Amino acid sequence: MKDLIKSKAYVVPVIIIVLLVGVVLLFSWLKTPNFDGDKVKLDFYVMSQCPYGTQVEDAIKPVLDKIGDHVDFNLEFIANEITEGQFNSLHGQPEVLGNIAQLCAAKHNPDKYMEMVVCMNANARAIPGNWETCAETNDLNVEKIEECYSGEEGKELLRESIEKADAVNAQGSPTIFLNDEPYSGGRGENDFFRAICQAFEEKPEACNDIPEAVKVKLTLLNDKRCKECQAATGLISQLKSLFPGLEVEALDYMTEEGKALYESSSATNLPLFLFDNSVTEGEGYQQVKQFLTPAGDLLSLQVGANFDPKKEICDNEIDDTDNGKVDCEDDNCKEDFVCREEKEGNLQLFIMSDCPYGRKGVEALKGALDNFAEAGETLDYEVHYIASENPDGSFNSLHGQYEVDENIIQLCANKHSEEAWLDYIYCRSTKGVKGKDWKDCAKETSVDVEAVQACFDGTEGKALHSEDIKAANALGIGASPTWLSNNKYKFSGIDAETVKSNFCQYNDVGGCENVIPVSTTADVPAGACS
């Protein structure tokens, strides 16, 4: 996932996933119950090469140095055991081995292993090759760790760690529990320090040394006319996790002060999150600084906002631009969902061809279509791709050039082997795209390989791609998967039952009465690539 994706549509869940993954989770640390024992239990579930995992490890290390005698700290790892003794992890085998090295260090040097972990984090790309140097530098028992790392003991430790991660459904790195409750506070050193101390009824003496939170001023400029924009206030609670001393002033664009601030910021879209220079001294500054851009005398937090307060609002029965045209009569509203022509029985799926959620979307599409086919219904369905075109005719897609290539191959398959096309993209979605020869699925599904190859090698495939991605770009669709029912009703989902249910809200057809079995629905958490 990119550090920051500039969304074409302001969708709060996407913003929170993109901006705050690896920074905050979903609940406030203030909800952590008071603890009257000797030690607070703190569990980290990470991946050894995940930058967000290494971030929290680096942050907790100085806290453990200060108050470690009062913390039962456990470092566990998120991975999978494919077959007995064979493991995989998100960042590949180097990460698997890094997990094992760190588990072995924790087993045989419980008082010093975090020294080795932080040392390895300084060059996480070198993991696992840097474990021995880091162990030697910090006076760990290299011989014991090596014996564990190279033998069955290390595998067993990883197996046990995976079981612990699975038991709490830890899927994202980091997943954190404080006293067996989900922890969702900030992830800086002082954030952890405060959260641990907050958990005690009688706080250890070291808790007296927590520095006072720096006051940070934020102005939220919003517009009460924008329904979607109001959800932006939910981001404030997340920012307060990053900046405990956050002070927020809310302004509405329709006020004189709001319009003046809008003009002085040189902004085009709302909502605006405007910090003054105090943010540079705030505790969460390092986490957000790459998302801050100058806005007059202030700094604007980039959140993918897309509401233009100077344009016509398409569903409020008001002439917002004073041009005599109301709502859908205004040219600004032609591509707005509420103004689009309704096409009954039409289902559209927008994806990136190797987005894991988009691939689940393809599986969901086939499952939904099979359900309706069994009831004798034939749907009008389309699949479109999410990408952008450069002035030189090349394309950009989130997962790189290989994904652009697969988009084009799929479009060529649709053009030259229409009857086999859905089976082809389903095959690719279930078996994978990156590093796998497309011709294997093409041959398996009777796609005309020669025609598709010629389409891809020539100008035809690029022209198909250039035309196809206009649909997503015109609609401001940037999340994979995104669905349209009847050409105008947008929804999200990665399982066949969700797709069927949303489609049937607007279409009374056979198969709507069915419940699609779990065995044909997605087996991963809901989400999207954006």
> Domains of the chain by range and CATH?
1-26+212-310 (3.40.30), 32-206 (3.40.30.10), 346-520 (3.40.30.10)
pLDDT confidence of residue 8: 35
Angle at 401 between CA 395 and CA 406, to 5 degrees: 95
Residue-level pLDDT at 338: 83
- In order, the DSSP letters of 124-160 are GGGTTTTHHHHHHHTT--HHHHHHHHHSHHHHHHHHH
pLDDT tens column, 234-283 = 889 889 878 888 999 999 999 999 999 999 999 889 999 999 999 999 98
- pLDDT of 474: 82
30 is written with which tokens? 């203030």
3-state helix, strand, coil in the chain (%, to 5): 45, 15, 40
Looking at residue 187, its pLDDT comes to: 85
Taking the CB of residue 523, how many other CB atoms lie within 10 A of it? Answer: 10
Low-confidence residues of the chain: pLDDT under 50: 1-36, 521-522
Q: If you count DSSP H runs as helices and E runs as strands, how many of each does the chain have, helices first?
A: 18, 17
Q: Residue 105: name the closest of 65, 71, 147, 68 by CA.
A: 147
Contact 290, 296 (CB under 8 A): no
Token code pair at residue 272: 């605006």
* Cβ(67)–Cβ(196) below 8 Å: yes
| pLDDT at 23 (0 to 100) | 37
The whole-angstrom separation of Cα 190 and Cα 210 is 7
Give me the phi and psi of 219, to 5 degrees please. -110, 125
Taking each helix axis from N to C end, the angle separating 51-67 and 189-198, rounded to the nearest 10 degrees, works out to: 50
- pLDDT of the residue at 525: 56
Pairing of strands 40-46, 71-77: parallel
Burial of 471 (0-12, 13-18, 19+ CB in 10 A): middle
First to last CA, the chain: 9
**Paired tokens of 338:** 């509420």
Burial 279-291 (b: 16+ CB within 10 A, else e): beebbbbebbeeb
One-letter-per-residue 3-state SS of 335-366: CCHHHCCCCCCEEEEEECCCCHHHHHHHHHHH
Percent of the chain with pLDDT over 70: 91
Distance CA 246, CA 368 (A): 47
pLDDT for residue 501: 97
**Average pLDDT, rounded, for the chain:** 89
* pLDDT for 159: 97
Tell me the backbone φ, ψ of residue 251, rounded to 5 degrees: -125, 145
pTM over cut 0.85 = no
Q: Which secondary structure element, helix H or strand E, spans residue 18, and what is its range?
A: helix 12-20
- 271: preceding bond cis by omega (within 30 degrees): yes
What is the per-residue pLDDT for 312?
Answer: 84
Is residue 59 within 8 Å of 216, Cβ to Cβ? no
Task: Indicate the pairing of strand 482-485 with strand 395-396.
Answer: unpaired
The span from the CA of 23 to the CA of 109, in Å, is 29
Q: Which of 20, 18, 91, 78 is nearest to 49 (CA)?
A: 91
Q: What are the φ/ψ torsions at residue 139 (nearest 5 degrees)? A: 60, 40
Neighbours of 259 (CB within 10 A): 15
Of 250, 204, 245, 243, the C-alpha closest to 224 is 250
- Residue 99, helix vs strand vs coil: helix
pLDDT of residue 33: 41
Residue owning tokens 């404080």? 178
Summarize pLDDT for 169-206 with one digit per residue, the tens.
Answer: 999 999 999 999 999 877 888 889 989 998 998 899 99
Could you give the CA distance from residue 350 to residue 503 in angstroms, rounded to a whole number? 15
Closest among 434, 502, 334, 479 to 5, alpha carbons compared = 479
Q: Pull the structure tokens for residue 522.
A: 């997605």
The pLDDT score that the predictor gives to residue 524 is: 52
Strand partners of residue 275: 218, 299
